[in-house]
Structure 1
Amino acid sequence: TESKFRRHGGDLKTRSTELGSAATGSPVTPLLLASTTGKKSIVLSSETRKELAKQAKVTKEERRAQIDQRYKYLISRLADGIGLSEQQVEEAIISDDKFQLIEQFFGSSGLKKLIFFYQDVLQKLNTSLRSDGSTNSLLQKKLFISMGSTENIMGTCAFFLRTSDKVITASNVSQEVNFGMFDSTNGKILQGLEFFLSQVMAPALKSQENWGAVKEGLKSSQVQDFLHSVDKFMGTLSSSRQNIEDKIQLTKVDIDIDISSLQNPSDYIAAG
């Protein structure tokens, strides 16, 4: 019995060690190992948690060392737009699982866009461990990198767009990268997009003097057609938003005609 108990304990320790060695450098929270019965949870040893935290700290410092003027440009734009300090933005970026996307964005012919969400996220409170092994959770504001399709936008969306396929360097980042953001609080993405287009993009386009190869600028019929299509799209966007918000209400109308007796178009025309 004694040897069996030791062997079982040894297996558990081995599994815990394997988990610790396989952990990446992303922000780490204490892990829980669920038993096969699903009724009990075993907390990893303090040594394992310390090792995971140590690995996470090393990775964050390695990422911090990569931050140059290109990163600082992004950080300053995010801090100004969202209302956080540059230190808070930097800490959020180096703690993000998708940190590598930033370098992919900077590369030659790299990612065309880099998206950040700033919104309430359900965070686990690891210090509040319940008797059943579960943890308490709390909604907290968090800035994180998003692919744009894997998370629902429920807060602020900030984005960077490349203007060419050139390598983004410290000297050209302010010319080659555009920054924008819109508010989608409570998931109202259409309202946020409508405001962004009508109050930011459309006025900027209509005041732009240089249209590249189009020498006539705003006088060009091509440019005017484009601006007209933008206005038309904003109108469609506004109409869609109002429809979703139940702005169109149908009212009951009393009529003296029994429409059940109408059989063909001519009957409807005669009844009208």
Structure 2
Amino acid sequence: EGKHRGGDLKTRSTEPVSAVTGSPLTAALPASTTGKKSIVLSSETRKELGKQTKVTKEERRAQIDERHRYLISRLADGIGLSEQEVEEAIISDDKFQLLEQFFAPNGLKKLLFFYQDVLQQKTNASLRSDGSTNSLLHKKLFITMGSTEDFTGTCAFFLRTSDKAVTASNVSQEMNFGIFDCSNGNILQGLEFFLSQIMIPALKSQQTWGAVKEGLKNSQIQDFLYSVDTFVGTLSSSRQNIEDKIQLTKMDIDIYLGNLQNPSDYITAG
């Protein structure tokens, strides 16, 4: 009998037992109480991820040289952020490697940044055991390929002028920088402003056109500028047509059909 009791002790659960059901007490407690263990684990996981993120950011910060500084300076001036804010956004971006691809010989031809409102998901596991989230809009500067995110704010772009490697000594000569503002949500208006107020005046004031010796007097150059002017005019017309579009509203047809009693009424109404 003593051996039998000893066997019971070895197999007995170490969890507290409910006096009502005889089942482990954790099964009888509310989910909010029993979920504490998983919440602690998720908190530890978040802390570990935070440490890894911090290490990654510091490694990237150590890679920043004069080429990156040039980009950061132009972005800060163009968008209206401090250089520290721009640097923090860049080293925190999961597309950070695109900068090196842009600097490399025969690398990316363009490097795009969006600065606009984005949804930030915040999960508070200690308050919400179901894992539900709160969504908050906040301004964010991020690197983009331009094909996956909707464009609703400001686009800053760098364009390569050759296939040479971008170095600290030639960074200002090997790329062009520009800002395309769509903060009002109207892409056509933003493009129209960019071309009419920035690009066309710059083109018309340009003195040298490469191999074309005559410059602005050359017929091909004049045709090109005329086509750009025409395109801007088309943009303006398209924008105005869209803004003046006809909006259909739902009508209560019962008001009109209620008095139609027989076929002759329908014929008269038609």
State the TM-score, normalizing by the size of structure 2.
0.74
Q: What is the DSSP-based 3-state SS (H/G/I as helix, E as strand, rest coil) of the residue aligned with 1:89?
A: helix
Q: Quick one: distance in 2 between partners of 1:2 and 1:127?
A: 37
1:224 to 222, 225, 229: 222
CA distance in 2, matches of 1:163, 1:231: 24
Relative distance call for 1:95 and 1:2 in structure 2 (3 A) is farther
User: Is 1:132 the counterpart of 2:124 in the alignment?
Assistant: no
Equivalent in 165, 168, 171 of residue 167 of structure 1: 165
Distance of 1:115 and 1:78 partners within structure 2: 11
Return the offset for 1:234.
0.6
| Equivalent of residue 151 in structure 1, options 149, 152, 164 | 149
| Structure 2: segments with no counterpart, 5+ residues | 1-10, 16-37, 248-270
Per the alignment, residue 69 of structure 2 pairs with: 72
**Is contact 2:212–2:218 with CA below 8 Å preserved after alignment?**
yes
3-state SS, counterpart of residue 192 of structure 1: helix
Equivalent residue letter for 2:186? K
Deviation at 1:246, TM superposition (A): 1.9
Bigger shift: residues 124-133 or 182-191 = 124-133
Displacement, 1:124? 1.7
Aligned residues: 214
Aligned-pair CA distance for 1:51: 1.7
Structure 1 residue 248: deviation in Å? 8.0
> 1:130–1:136: 8 Å Cα contact kept in structure 2?
no
The aligned residue for residue 178 of structure 1 is 176
Partner amino acid, structure 1, of 2:180: F
- Using structure 1 for the length normalisation, give the TM-score: 0.74
Work out whether 1:245 is the aligned partner of 2:213.
Answer: no
Task: Tell me, yes or no, if the aligned pair for 2:105 and 2:166 is still in contact at 8 Å.
Answer: yes
Aligned counterpart, 1:203: 201
Cα distance in structure 2, aligned partners of 1:211 and 1:189: 30
Percent of residue pairs identical: 81
Q: Which residue of 2 aligns with 1:117?
A: 114
Partner of 2:96: 99
Q: Shift of the alpha carbon at 1:135?
A: 1.5
- Superposed displacement of residue 131, structure 1: 4.2
Quick check: 1:116–1:144 contact (8 Å CA) kept in 2? yes
| 1:22 counterpart residue number | none
| Cα distance in structure 1, aligned partners of 2:77 and 2:123 | 32
Letter of the 1:165 counterpart: D
Whether the aligned pair in 2 keeps the contact of 1:121 and 1:140 (CA below 8 Å) is: yes
What pairs with 1:32-111 in structure 2 (closer than 5 Å)? 43=39, 44-111=41-108
Are 1:212 and 2:213 matched, yes or no? no
Distance change (3 Å), C-alpha of 1:208 and 1:57: same
SS of equivalent to 2:172: helix
Shift in CA distance, 149/63, structure 1 to aligned 2, threshold 3 Å: same
1:257 matched residue in structure 2: none
Contact 1:242 1:248 in 2 (8 A): no
The gaps in structure 1 that reach 5 residues or longer are: 6-41, 250-272
The 1-side partners of 2:48 and 2:129 are apart by 25
Match of residue 192 from structure 1 = 190
Q: Deviation at 1:220?
A: 0.6
Mapped to 1, the partners of 2:131 and 2:124 lie a distance apart of 12
Task: Indicate if the aligned counterparts of 1:119 and 1:142 stay in contact, CA closer than 8 A.
Answer: yes
Q: Larger Rg: 1 or 2?
A: 2
Deviation at 1:45, TM superposition (A): 3.3
CA contact (8 A) 2:106 2:163 kept: yes
1:168-219 per-residue CA deviation (whole Å, 9 max, x = no partner) reads 1111111111110121124311110110000000000000001000011111
User: What SS does the corresponding residue of 2:157 show, helix, strand or coil?
Assistant: strand
Letter in 1 for 2:46: R
User: Within 2, Cα distance between the matches of 1:127 and 1:196?
Assistant: 43
